[in-house]
Structure 1
Amino acid sequence: MDTPPAMRRASHGKLSLAYEVIGPDHGRPLLLLMGVGAQMLTWHDDFCWALARSGFQVVRMDNRDAGLSTHLSELGEPKVVDMILRPKRAARYSLTDMAADAFAVCDAMGWDNLNVVGGSMGGMIAQTMAIERPRRVRSLTSIMSSPSARIGRASVRTSVKVAGLLQQQVHSPEEAGRQLVEMYKMIGTSPSVYPLDADWLHEVGARSYARAYDPAGKLRQQAAMLAAPNRTAALRKLRVPTLVMHGSADVMIRPSGGRATADAVPDSRLVMLPDVGHGAFPREVWPTMIEEITAISV
């Protein structure tokens, strides 16, 4: 049985960043970054251990304003109208700041360079890492992401449905678990294609609530994503081995976001995952994902 990883901490200025290490010290360094409001728990334990058995030392972390990392409550809650109409005014920090957090975790690990894998907003942070410090990034894997929050964005109908669900306040781990299950019924892979792992999603939602429930922190992360400049031009200059994976049925960041990323990065590899939605990846596609990540990594 795989040993549960111990939680560690890295410092970046006044921030304390929570992370876990999975796999042997001699493994290839690989950092996992997740999306808006999601905690490190969203990287399934079994997926992380499968990566470790493929030769990686895996680190998964909580971004600032999520999980057990520092929550910047003193920065206040961005107004949704500003996030939409005046995103730079709404932003309390930037994706560059979040990329620097990730590098601080790498420094704590003693990694001079690394393979970075990011999902959704985590993919945008990973792209930013590769653009700003390419010598430290061995390979970039951008999953269900985009060069800009405005490329491949969700339809108005999907956005309204998701916003309506998230406006329902939760008051217990049980309610948080149910809400996460309902969320993935909306945006995840259709159960008619792959079974929804509702028990695991419920557990993740409940554990995430117990670790930290912070809707304002989620908005601050989203504001940073919306305020970030279009990275297309910068990605065209990138010479880092790059893998782009995207679900063909993704409704939150539609497949055009993945295609735009792959089109921008020279010599990148695009892998479309048939019928896969946004968020938690079905166990059935893990072998493909791990094979592709292993092939691109150094």
Structure 2
Amino acid sequence: MPETTANGISIHYEDHGDKNAPPMLLIMGFGAQLTLWPDELVDELVGHGFRVIRYDNRDIGLSHKFDGVKAPGLIKMTLLGKLGITPKVPYTLSDMADDGAGLLEALEIPRAHIVGGSMGGMIAQHVAAKHADKTMSLTSIFSTTGHPKLPAAKPEALKALVTRPKSIDEEALVEHGMFLSRTIGSPGYPADADRLRERVTASVRRSVYPEGPTRHLSAIVADGDRREMIKNITAPTLVLHGEADPLVPVEGGHDTAAHIPGAKIKTFPGWGHDLPEELIKPIAAEMAEHAKAAQG
């Protein structure tokens, strides 16, 4: 897999499709490697005529690790947030947005369609707001504004997300990954057990780094409410969200669309917080139609 230096750190990425096609940058979410963007989705987008780039965020997968850098605990960050104090964290979502923008620069790509899922959607919002000159369009997938009064994640979904595996034994890691996927996944499109195990096992064998998600979480909590920031986004914006998302309820998608000027939203019944095989084609079609319309 290619590696480059972006924003002063090493970033691992994959580059698919015609190098002369309109570029689309995929930014994945909390504790997730680039492989959580399904190959089938990448292939669909390439088939729609895009150059598709997916990459490992800092502190996960094969990108740079911030070993030994401590993040404040969740309870401390929550208490400071309620007091209106921004906690000091190892890095911010804005820093992670600079990673994405830096990757585009390293690949000599002036502008791209920016797509983010979950935490990646939050990062993508920062890219569109901070690096407007690099943003052809924005697609925010099962993400949110950070507004504290929005409905919270279902307790079982949040617990599954932040609970660490019982051990770093491969079987324990795979079982934990499958449990997480089923807990936050789509009730309308349950994953095939064998296929899910295959994908989770491949992810575990690619990279295991339990410390990264702790720092990712601190960046999310410290980021707070993005509503005022995203009001300044000028790129054509599409919001995609599942109506059955247990981790980031669909209200987060509606709030995102409501605060980005001219944004459109498309929701799907039965869709949770994953990218099920049955929805790959319609999701890719929505993304492609939006991006092509933004190109004029």
TM-score normalized by structure 2?
Answer: 0.91
- Structure 1 residues 161 and 35: CA distance shift in structure 2, 3 A: closer
Is the contact made by 1:19 and 1:59 (CA closer than 8 Å) also made in structure 2? Answer: yes
C-alpha deviation, 1:73, in angstroms: 1.1
Query: CA separation in 1, counterparts of 2:189 and 2:42?
Result: 20
Query: CA separation in 2, counterparts of 1:94 and 1:116?
Result: 18
Query: CA separation in 1, counterparts of 2:43 and 2:239?
Result: 22
Query: Which residue of structure 1 lines up, in the alignment, with residue 200 of structure 2?
Result: 205
Query: Which residue of structure 2 lines up, in the alignment, with residue 160 of structure 1?
Result: 159
C-alpha deviation, 1:64, in angstroms: 0.3
Shifted more, 249-258 versus 150-159: the winner is: 150-159
C-alpha deviation, 1:282, in angstroms: 1.4
Query: Which residue of structure 2 lines up, in the alignment, with residue 256 of structure 1?
Result: 251
Query: CA separation in 1, counterparts of 2:141 and 2:23?
Result: 18
Please give the residue correspondences for 1:81-230 in structure 2 after superposition, counting only pairs within 5 Å: 81-86=75-80, 88-89=86-87, 91-148=89-146, 150=148, 151-163=150-162, 166-190=163-187, 193-230=188-225
C-alpha deviation, 1:55, in angstroms: 0.4
Query: Which residue of structure 1 lines up, in the alignment, with residue 235 of structure 2?
Result: 240
Is the contact made by 2:232 and 2:260 (CA closer than 8 Å) also made in structure 1? Answer: yes
Tell me how many residue pairs correspond in the alignment.
Answer: 287
Instruction: Write out per-residue CA displacement over residues 97-143 of structure 1, whole angstroms, 9 at most, x where no aligned residue.
Output: 00011111111221100001100000000000001111210000000
Unpaired segments of 5 or more residues in structure 2? none
Is the contact made by 1:78 and 1:216 (CA closer than 8 Å) also made in structure 2? Answer: no
SS of corresponding position for 1:271: strand
Amino acid aligned to 2:269 = P
Amino acid aligned to 2:95 = D
Query: CA separation in 1, counterparts of 2:77 and 2:263?
Result: 31
Query: CA separation in 2, counterparts of 1:14 and 1:136?
Result: 19
Query: CA separation in 2, counterparts of 1:189 and 1:252?
Result: 11
Query: CA separation in 2, counterparts of 1:139 and 1:85?
Result: 36
Query: CA separation in 2, counterparts of 1:200 and 1:89?
Result: 40
Is the contact made by 1:173 and 1:207 (CA closer than 8 Å) also made in structure 2? Answer: no
Amino acid aligned to 2:164 = Q
Query: Which residue of structure 1 lines up, in the alignment, with residue 281 of structure 2?
Result: 287
- Structure 1 residues 215 and 23: CA distance shift in structure 2, 3 A: same
Query: Which residue of structure 2 lines up, in the alignment, with residue 277 of structure 1?
Result: 272
Instruction: Write out per-residue CA displacement over residues 79-109 of structure 1, whole angstroms, 9 at most, x where no aligned residue.
Output: 2322332363352100110001111111122
Query: CA separation in 1, counterparts of 2:17 and 2:213?
Result: 29
Query: CA separation in 2, counterparts of 1:153 and 1:176?
Result: 27
Query: Which residue of structure 1 lines up, in the alignment, with residue 33 of structure 2?
Result: 39
Please give the residue correspondences for 1:58-73 in structure 2 after superposition, counting only pairs within 5 Å: 58-73=52-67
SS of corresponding position for 1:75: coil
Is the contact made by 1:143 and 1:245 (CA closer than 8 Å) also made in structure 2? Answer: yes
Query: CA separation in 1, counterparts of 2:171 and 2:263?
Result: 42
- Structure 1 residues 251 and 105: CA distance shift in structure 2, 3 A: same
C-alpha deviation, 1:43, in angstroms: 0.7
Amino acid aligned to 1:138 = M
Amino acid aligned to 1:188 = G
Shifted more, 131-140 versus 178-187: the winner is: 178-187
Query: CA separation in 1, counterparts of 2:195 and 2:216?
Result: 24
- Structure 1 residues 46 and 201: CA distance shift in structure 2, 3 A: same
Is the contact made by 1:175 and 1:206 (CA closer than 8 Å) also made in structure 2? Answer: no
Is the contact made by 2:6 and 2:106 (CA closer than 8 Å) also made in structure 1? Answer: no
C-alpha deviation, 1:189, in angstroms: 0.6
Cα RMSD between the aligned structures?
1.8
SS of corresponding position for 2:2: strand
C-alpha deviation, 1:200, in angstroms: 3.6
C-alpha deviation, 1:288, in angstroms: 1.5
Is the contact made by 2:40 and 2:280 (CA closer than 8 Å) also made in structure 1? Answer: no
TM-score normalized by structure 1?
Answer: 0.90
SS of corresponding position for 2:4: strand
Shifted more, 197-206 versus 126-135: the winner is: 197-206
Query: CA separation in 1, counterparts of 2:243 and 2:216?
Result: 25
C-alpha deviation, 1:160, in angstroms: 3.5
Query: CA separation in 2, counterparts of 1:37 and 1:278?
Result: 14
Instruction: Write out per-residue CA displacement over residues 137-196 of structure 1, whole angstroms, 9 at most, x where no aligned residue.
Output: 000000000011744431345423544xx2332323332222111112211011xx2241
Instruction: Write out per-residue CA displacement over residues 10-43 of structure 1, whole angstroms, 9 at most, x where no aligned residue.
Output: 2135410100011111221001111100000101
Query: CA separation in 1, counterparts of 2:190 and 2:243?
Result: 17
